[in-house]
Structure 1
Amino acid sequence: MTANGKVYLLGAGPGNIDYLTVRGQQVLQQADCLIYDALVDQRLLSQLPAACEAIQVGKRGGQPSTPQTDINRLLVNHCQQGKQVVRLKSGDPFIFGRAAGEIQALKAANCTFEVIPGVSSALAAPLLSAIPLTDPVLSHGFGVFTAHNLQNLDWPTLANLETLVLLMGGRHLGDICHQLQVHGRHGDTPIVVIQWASQPQQRLWQGTLLNIAQLTRGEKLSPCIIVIGEVIRLREFLVPPTFVDTMVNRGLNNKTILVTRATGQSSEFTTLLNHQGATVIDMPALEIRPPSSWTDLDQALERLSTFDWLILTSANAVNFFLDRLLVKQYDLRQLAHLKLAVVGKKTANVLTERGFRADFIPPHYVADSLIERFPVSLKGLKILFPRVETGGRDVLVKECVAQGAMVAEVAAYESGCPQAMTAGATVALQQRQVDVVTFASSKTVRHFKQLMLGRFGESWLDYLEGVAIASIGPQTTKTCLEDLGRIDIEATTYTLDGLTEVLVQWAAHE
């Protein structure tokens, strides 16, 4: 917290975190307090410092929301406490965002503020659905209106616009189509309804003013953008091959998945889940850092020529080991005589990215399989095993030694527990938004429990009621049973692809 408070009125964009501005990311990362609308992407909360207070104030059509006077009071009070306050609004703050009233309240209280633009869904939703709002022939301009109160709209004028964009109109779709036709718009005029624009669960219905109400009958359309005009006919020529069209039922649609992972590491798992339609909330449950001492690894590097095999059981082990070689100015060609064994598909991929090829990868991607399927006799082999400093399993070393190998087990990195749970994960669990929590290692399970205890106290298990627990494999499952008391989903192929596959199967059975 800084001595002087300030309020940032920030546009979150159409919803997906991918469309947040760089400036927006900067202010989120320094926020002491977040006051946010209901429609913003929960993943935006992952940008917040762990100590940031997150306050949801609703603003969701057709549902209870915090009165605007209360929101104004919250902004002023937190700013006067010297906090950096982010008022996070969906879309752009100045497009149907009620920012003017909030600014007036801040000015009256002598609070410093800054307005940061966002990408409005009125512009982004058509673009992401391959609909240009202007065209040299079909659309010389467009109008954007809110359909919150139809009586306030000048229907003769709207009916004459070449292209019309309506926000907050899902509950009034039939009336909108009726009013446009009554005032001269032809019933064959194309119309598109875009729901959850930019989000993994985006859906799209395309029809005409005559039939769109029938096409969407029984559907809950909010939140949606409605686009009306001949320019929609260009969509069939512009839609990209990767576009996921209207009724494609991706396996994890409407599922929110909390992914435990290492701090600062991008998650390919998140990408896999997003492609299946899931909303993903990342929760850092590991901090990867150097070991407490490099001494043992450095001494092992000095006698690198004496080893026969190098065993690497994680991507972190690959990176820290090779990085240390470079820091100590060793020639990587000194590894040429070593045979390389790795555990895990991701470990092998990272090794390949660093310019090396594994000589042996066990078929089941677990350490136990490495021993069972080792391609040569272990008797008499000298093995270098760079690994995590504390908390790793001992079975691999014990089995190698039992079969006559000499193993130099050295610390290459350490993994610890973050200081606190992120605001995004906290809010999602508090508001019962999470359907599944996933774990890809035993340590993430233990640290998740530690973080939950620190945040929610002895009642922490209450926040997992109705939440499925998913594990990447047998050892992680064992830890889930020990620390969480149950397991609901386990991958049969012990990879992130395998875990994604069983999550889709689980969702289908639900």
Structure 2
Amino acid sequence: MSTGKVWLVGAGPGDAGLFTIKGMETLQQAEVVVYDSLVGQEILSRIPESARCINVGKRASHHTMPQEQINQVLVEEAKKGHRVVRLKGGDPFLFGRGGEELELLVKEGIPYEVVPGVTSPIAVPAYNGIPVTHRDFTSSVHIITGHKKQGAAYDIDFNALVHTKGTLVFLMGVSALSDICQSLLQAGMDQDMPAAILQKGTTAGQKRIVATVSTLEEEVKKQGIETPAIIVVGKVCALAKEFAWHEKLPLSGYKVMVTRPRDLISSMASRLRLLGAEVLELPAIRTEPLKDQTLLYKALKAVDTYQWVVFTSPTGVRIFFEELLKSATDIRKLAHLKVAAIGKGTKKALEEKGFFADYMPEVFDGEALGRGLCELCEGTEKILLPRAKMCNQEILAELAKKPGILVDDISIYDTFYETRDLLDRKKEFETGSIDCAVFTSASTVRGFKEATPGLDYTKVRAACIGRQTQAEAAALGMETYMAREASIDSLLTLVIELKGKTACK
């Protein structure tokens, strides 16, 4: 077997939007992922299902695996011929010990690449309205590790730091806050120099305490702080109140879980992030075309006998047209058909294929779709209904009420529940870390159940896209809320209302 390769990839400070494009592309090709505790949860949820994951921990004073052993793991996995991604919080070369890992890779002749990451000493102050440089205050920034061995003195020239008159950013220094502030004061720093401590920057847990070098420790004792956090010292800290922007976003400080099929990119998630939410995407289900499409191919050969083709999901649209191509059916044979879509997402998927829906119900569910088709059909009409193997029967129940309607209900894809996950979602919900779960279909609720065995579902506040989805969530005991309309826009509005606690159950 040929030697594999190692990529040292910086995952950024936490917000998935700050993960670089190259980093994401590299991660998606990984066969083995060796990751740190400081890698953001949003990034962990992007690791491909096919990749084998190795958690090496590495948070101050808490090491799942010694650095020397981590170095060896990278070499061993690469020698097996694997594509190995060493995923690190922030940037690999800024107190990430990336250089140490490269030393052994070079010695062993292992090919490697480095993908830099957005680093917390720049990004976290920025998310808190603190520019680390400003021509009216300072022209330099200095990044220092605040970590030191217990009982040992700092190997830092604090006099030199004070004389730079630059912004000072201390990483991993929360436990040594008192020592840092006292050392700066002893080195001659003005006791009224603005200083800040910034907790969990770029995530929903973001918190800022601004004081002075002489009072910051006291304020932290009063207000409390959690790790990870960074300490910023310099005149620019005084700008935080004026320049703060992230906390003004509608969903800042709100942590949302969005369930989706693995093969679909969630537009809901991206829009929530734009509004300031921290979003964890749970690929609750996976969809795959059925291997045996005999019934669909038979229907396509006789497509001229149908008057309608009805779609109940964007996935159904995608797979139908993929199988249409495989069956060597000329798409022009569909020209006579009327097309129905259950909702806006399905309608959009059809339009991307060049088809415009002749009918879409005002209420986006199977019952309304069936009822509307009954009103539109006159005399004997034949309907082709390509959809999921596991599906709601409400549309069939409604269509059965109208004599003369013939339905070929054909399964073209199957749904599988995803259970592999790197996050303890049970703990996240039970500790109140996740504020809200968003469900876009009844099947994603079922997938969520499979992925969270043992969870007390009464701890879950569920924002549901429609009646059937809400019923599925309520049956588990969740605190459920339903969007006024079964659309992404309406569901987004619901989440904003939930944050403000104004939604009606």
AA aligned opposite 1:159: V
Bigger mean CA offset, 49-58 vs 486-495: 486-495
C-alpha change, 1:320 and 1:27, in structure 2 (3 Å) is closer
- Deviation, 1:56, is 1.6
Whether contact under 8 Å (1:42, 1:281) holds in the other structure is: no
AA aligned opposite 2:332: Y
Mapped partners of 1:332, 1:192: distance in 2: 65
Mapped partners of 1:352, 1:106: distance in 2: 50
AA aligned opposite 2:232: V
How many aligned positions are there?
Answer: 481
Alignment of 1:191-270 (within 5 A): 191-216=195-220, 217-233=222-238, 243-245=245-247, 250=251, 253=254, 255=255, 257=257, 259-270=258-269
Bigger mean CA offset, 67-76 vs 468-477: 468-477
C-alpha change, 1:375 and 1:268, in structure 2 (3 Å) is same
Q: Which residue of 2 aligns with 1:143?
A: 142
Whether contact under 8 Å (2:389, 2:412) holds in the other structure is: no
Mapped partners of 1:368, 1:55: distance in 2: 46
Q: Deviations over 1:34-91 (max 9, x none)?
A: 2211010233334434343222222223545433233234334433444333222111
Whether contact under 8 Å (2:90, 2:117) holds in the other structure is: yes
Q: Deviations over 1:315-362 (max 9, x none)?
A: 334556688699845399867xx5x65434544565677788767654
1:143 aligned counterpart, secondary structure: strand
- Deviation, 1:189, is 2.8
Q: Which residue of 1 aligns with 2:293?
A: 292
Bigger mean CA offset, 63-72 vs 429-438: 429-438
Bigger mean CA offset, 148-157 vs 438-447: 438-447
Alignment of 1:15-30 (within 5 A): 15-30=14-29
1:134 aligned counterpart, secondary structure: coil
2:396 aligned counterpart, secondary structure: helix
Alignment of 1:6-405 (within 5 A): 6-63=5-62, 65-149=64-148, 151-160=154-163, 161-216=165-220, 217-233=222-238, 243-245=245-247, 250=251, 253=254, 255=255, 257=257, 259-271=258-270, 274=273, 275=275, 277-283=277-283, 285-289=285-289, 292=293, 294-295=296-297, 298-299=300-301, 302=304, 307=307, 311-318=310-317, 328-330=330-332, 338=338, 342-347=341-346, 362=361, 364-371=363-370, 376=375, 380=379, 382=381, 384-405=383-404
- Deviation, 1:212, is 3.8
Whether contact under 8 Å (2:300, 2:329) holds in the other structure is: no
Mapped partners of 2:122, 2:76: distance in 1: 34
- Deviation, 1:168, is 1.5
1:172 aligned counterpart, secondary structure: helix
Q: Which residue of 2 aligns with 1:491?
A: 481
2:423 aligned residue (418, 424, 428)? 428
1:461 aligned residue (434, 446, 453)? 453
1:126 aligned counterpart, secondary structure: helix
Higher relative contact order (CA 8 A, sep 6+): 1
1:245 aligned counterpart, secondary structure: helix
- Deviation, 1:295, is 3.0
Mapped partners of 2:205, 2:333: distance in 1: 49
- Deviation, 1:95, is 1.0
Q: Deviations over 1:178-212 (max 9, x none)?
A: 43344333344333333222334333333433544
C-alpha change, 1:442 and 1:421, in structure 2 (3 Å) is same
Mapped partners of 2:253, 2:298: distance in 1: 46
Q: Deviations over 1:85-143 (max 9, x none)?
A: 32221111111112233333444555444433222212222334443333344322221
C-alpha change, 1:389 and 1:141, in structure 2 (3 Å) is closer
1:69 aligned counterpart, secondary structure: helix
2:453 aligned counterpart, secondary structure: helix
- Deviation, 1:421, is 4.7
Mapped partners of 1:185, 1:327: distance in 2: 78
Give 5+ residue unaligned stretches, structure 2: none
1:54 aligned counterpart, secondary structure: strand
Q: Which residue of 2 aligns with 1:455?
A: none
2:101 aligned counterpart, secondary structure: helix
Q: Which residue of 2 aligns with 1:457?
A: none
Whether contact under 8 Å (1:261, 1:282) holds in the other structure is: yes
AA aligned opposite 1:228: V
AA aligned opposite 2:114: V
Mapped partners of 1:373, 1:408: distance in 2: 15
Alignment RMSD (CA, Å): 4.3
Whether contact under 8 Å (1:388, 1:412) holds in the other structure is: yes
**Identity over the aligned pairs, expressed in percent?**
27
1:404 aligned counterpart, secondary structure: coil
Give 5+ residue unaligned stretches, structure 1: 453-459
Mapped partners of 1:67, 1:495: distance in 2: 49
Q: Which residue of 2 aligns with 1:456?
A: none
